[in-house]
Amino acid sequence: MQAGHLSQTIVLQRRDLQRDSHGAQVTTWSDVAQLRAAITPLSGREILTAQAFSAQLTHQIVVRYTRCLSDPLDLPKLRILFGQRIFNIQAAINDEESNRQITLLVTEGLSDG
């Protein structure tokens, strides 16, 4: 992976549940890390292929390996913020199991997790 390919800056966020003044649970998001990334919209053919996994996959995001994306049990608690756009992580693939880069399969859209 060449650094020039990771031309966008994204923010990795984690969902937290807190209680408001009335005792109700409220979802909040806190920043975990700021990462350099390559964001690629999936083409029509890739979307058709990906439908076997999820009918909603819209983008692929490639980042350098980071431990916070390596635990599949944590993925449902994470999302990507890119400017005003929100990407929900559906899968994280440790490319070639080499701990060098992770490919994230994501859906775009607002989600409270």
Domain borders along the chain are 3-108
pTM over 0.85: no
The DSSP result for 70-108, as a single string, is S-TTTGGGEEEEETTEEEEEEEEEEGGGSSSEEEEEEEE
**CATH of range 3-108; options 3.40.220.10, 3.30.420.40, 3.30.830.10, 2.40.10.270:** 2.40.10.270
Question: pLDDT per position in the chain (113 positions), as tens?
Answer: 555 688 999 999 999 988 888 888 998 999 999 999 999 998 755 555 555 555 578 899 999 998 888 888 888 899 999 999 999 998 899 888 889 999 999 998 876 55
**In contact, 57 and 42? CB cutoff 8 Å:** yes
The label of the residue with tokens 């058709």 reads 48
